[in-house]
Amino acid sequence: MTINQVIYDILGLTSKAEISDDSNLPLEQIKFWVVSSRAELIRQQMNKGQSINPDITQTISCLKVIQIDASECPCEAVGCTILRSEVQIPTTVETNQMNLLMQVSPNLIGSKPYTIIPYSRAAYITKSKFGKLGTKAFLHNRYIYLITDTYVESINVTGVFNEPEDLGNYKDCSGEACYSDDGYYPMSLHMVNTLKKMIMDTNFKVYLNTKEDTKNDAHGE
């Protein structure tokens, strides 16, 4: 399922519901409704304690990281390395309990994911009594930070992002865009009918009422 398929499905529903044929409802408007409704449905599901369906996640692979000065990120562990993603990542969906950054890992198949911690814990990370630190990852100002005793050049970042199309600005390990409107859209199939009903019962009704009010105002001049 692609977002274009969802958009044209909704366009067909709206065409049947139109009072006249002069509406010319923009596809970009429907796309905005789909994106915002998807994020709201996910928030509702997560706030009810439902598990995260892998179908709604996306991965930015081979995201480059750079070494930064420790002053940018407090770290009590002597000798630790502070790495940060070279660029910011798109905003993730936030629920009442968490933001939906799901996994940060090396970009090698089968690699163990890093431990994700809140930014507030970063200043208190120390090495174990055996002198081991491991790697801790956290999100801050839309950058991914790594506190680690090893060095990597790139990472994979998996999350539930507010606007899936934002990943079209990132390249995967093979140089291809991480998202396309003609590729898989990160939304589980059982959400589609609920999303379409939400759009038709709310967004589209508001759109029709606004259009009618504008027409009446024009006739009243």
- Cα–Cα distance measured from residue 113 to residue 107, given in angstroms and rounded to the nearest whole number: 10
- Cα–Cα distance measured from residue 130 to residue 148, given in angstroms and rounded to the nearest whole number: 15
Tens digits of pLDDT across the chain (221 residues) = 899 999 999 998 887 765 444 457 889 999 999 999 999 999 999 999 888 999 999 999 999 999 987 666 555 555 567 899 999 999 999 988 889 999 999 988 778 999 999 888 877 776 555 556 678 899 999 999 998 878 899 999 999 999 999 999 999 999 999 999 999 999 988 899 999 999 999 988 888 887 655 555 545 55
Contacts of 58 (CB under 8 A, 6+ apart): 158, 159, 160, 161, 164, 167, 178, 179, 186
pTM, full prediction: 0.85
- Cα–Cα distance measured from residue 18 to residue 207, given in angstroms and rounded to the nearest whole number: 11
